[in-house]
Structure 1
């Protein structure tokens, strides 16, 4: 029986134009160069007790001649992300059916704080949100998924998982979770409904 639906956050609940494309268009920094820096920095800040991300960005911003303060840079980044209201409504529907709804996100402190301030409706309509910088487990580490299961007394087959990353989906699937790459709301709802109502 399906007892829980687990969602990635970015690329699922929150959608945005690629930050690297925005930076290239607005500031002239080559997308590939920005992505290389982004991957390096995200790997450093998505874990517990990480320094503020801006200290890692500052040398790159100076190199690219971008005179952006920490506040300006993070606001530019985060403000490009938009909530998908239909997905929020679906989360509410699932909760009404007594199905737990979780977020499982690789993220860092400043971004999570921005989300909690600007998108409080997300957090009030899910059972719990798991962030790597708080748990210490970064997807695709199996422990990230196992923590959700263990904390909530769930077995893998009780859960459905959606992520825009194929790698993350494959790891979840290997654990026995019903895992799918997120390709849009209608396809996702159809998948969940089939799993719920087949029992």
Structure 2
């Protein structure tokens, strides 16, 4: 079997409120204001596809949110999204590989974040056979082509694949291709799923 794991809130806990909190501290713009103006809009999607640079993304977001931040302050806040690893999921990934299954990560991420989490959490790379990142592929979930690309690269059919993600749209996108897709709603979702299988 091929098991595909998303990264944020699946393998690693993330919290965008931490990003906004850091930006608020740097800029003195109230957190409540930032929460109202922060959206994952076109610049966010372009950044995840690798279509714009980190600097252009920072500029676009600061402009949209009227945020007076230096690039360094923006970057520092952007990395604050990561809270910590979910060791129980890492353990499951290792166990699956020991049993001969193929285990990969498929994440909508961006260059700026990949300067941080691979070094911060080396356990992820050691638990996965391969890591597929949106900005390297030039496409992002829930686009059908990103799932098709991974299936093709791995040599598996949709029927022999299980996908874990915390985003409903991404789950629906994979479901439409016939991939068994599990919505991760909390830390217990993945251990519960495998409790009778491993």
Kindly state the Cα deviation for residue 23 of structure 1 after the two structures are TM-superposed: 5.4
Quick one: structure 1 residues 162 and 92, their matched pair in 2 at CA, closer, same or farther if it must change by over 3 Å?
same
Bigger mean CA deviation after superposition, 81-90 or 19-28: 19-28
Aligned partner of 2:44 in structure 1 is 42
Instruction: Identify which of 178, 181, 194 aligns with 1:179.
Output: 181
Q: How far apart are 1:59 and its partner, in Å?
A: 5.6
User: Aligned residue for 1:156?
Assistant: 158
Does the 8 Å contact 2:89/2:190 carry over to 1? no
Partner Cα distance (2:170, 2:37) in 1:
24
Structure 1, unpaired ranges of 5+: none
Tell me the TM-score normalized by structure 2.
0.83
1:74 and 2:75 correspond: yes
SS across alignment from 1:11: coil
**2:135 aligned partner:** 133
Alpha-carbon distance change, 130 to 45 in structure 1, aligned in 2, over 3 angstroms: same
Among 16, 19, 41, the alignment partner of 1:18 is 16
SS of corresponding position for 1:104 = strand
- The 2-side partners of 1:143 and 1:192 are apart by 28
1:30 aligns with 2:34: yes
In the aligned structure 1, how far is the partner of 2:55 from the partner of 2:154? Answer: 35
**Contact 2:23–2:77 under 8 Å retained in 1:** no
The equivalent residue for 2:7 is 9
Residue in structure 1 matched with residue 54 of structure 2 by the alignment? 53
**Cα distance in 2, alignment partners of residues 69 and 25 from structure 1:** 13
> What is the count of residue pairs matched by the alignment?
190
CA contact (8 A) 1:23 1:31 kept: no
Unpaired stretches in structure 2, ≥5 consecutive residues: none
Superposed CA RMSD in Å reads 2.4
Structure 1 residue 47 displacement after superposition:
1.8
Change in CA separation of 1:193 and 1:65 when aligned onto 2, cut-off 3 Å? closer
